[in-house]
Amino acid sequence: MKKLALGVTALVTAVTLSAAILPVTTAHAAITVESSAYKSVTLFSVEELETFTGETLTSESITSFYNKLATASTWETADYSAKEAKAIALDFTRNQSKADSLLKKLVKNNALYMKIVVLNKASISAAFDIQGYNDSNNQTPDPSTPSEVQGTLEELDISIEYKQGDVELSYEVKSNGKIKAEYENELTNTEMSGTKAQAKIESLLKKIDFQNMDKNQIIQVVLKELNLKDNYREFEFEAEFTNNTKLEFKQK
């Protein structure tokens, strides 16, 4: 079976601020809620997002706006380091449907703020959620909480066995940032490696929400994106995260 490592992630969420958190004088600017050597929490108004994306956020521009947020250079413009910017952009890339939902909320209510949390610990991890106005009981979960996110995805194996043959894929981000990807489909006699396999697998990964999908949802996404039928003999999935937790299952 083959391995997957996804690298660092960053938290993205829209949040409404109470007066106790945000002074009136900073209602339309980036607000640093927390900043340390290990963790930063920053809130961006719609106007601030528009400034460093160079885009106006409307119902019609959500896709193009999202594309800018999924680009590392955008976050470097917002004064994040290159490594942090890459992490934030990567999290947007992996969670497009959720990001689109948040952007739609921002379009409807410019009192909402985009919340970016970056953890810079030995194990960089993240989580995102919606926090209501002045709702102290609905706080954004600690990104290090395993129930919300298992940490940074480090390795992944997917193997699907059919009567006629197997389908396997692997995707690995090396310590130097280079990506090793392989895809094999014995049903169609297809083998890919390098950039072709990388593109195919990354297209799939964009559809998987490791934080919120259950195993049946993950299976259905994989089958749909790889154009496979559900009459498999066995579907095996194993993911290891940087904080020594695992997400694994086998379905027959």
Q: pLDDT digit string (tens) for 29-46?
A: 577 877 887 788 788 888
The Cα 174–Cα 179 span in angstroms is: 6
13 pLDDT more than 70: no
Q: Within 13 Å, how many C-alpha atoms sit on residue 167's CB side?
A: 22
The Cα 195–Cα 176 span in angstroms is: 17
248 pLDDT more than 50: yes
Q: Which of 96-110, 130-144, 151-165, 201-215 has the lowest mean pLDDT?
A: 130-144
Nearest partner of 17 among 43, 48, 53, 56, judged by Cα: 43
pLDDT at 175: 65
pLDDT band (50, 70, 90) for residue 227: very high
Residues in a beta bridge with 203: none
151 pLDDT more than 90: no
The Cα 35–Cα 8 span in angstroms is: 19
Which residues have a Cβ under 8 Å from the Cβ of 198 and sit 6 or more positions away?
Answer: 171, 179, 181
163 pLDDT more than 80: yes
CB 91 within 8 Å of CB 126: yes
184 pLDDT more than 90: yes
Predicted TM-score (pTM) of this structure: 0.47
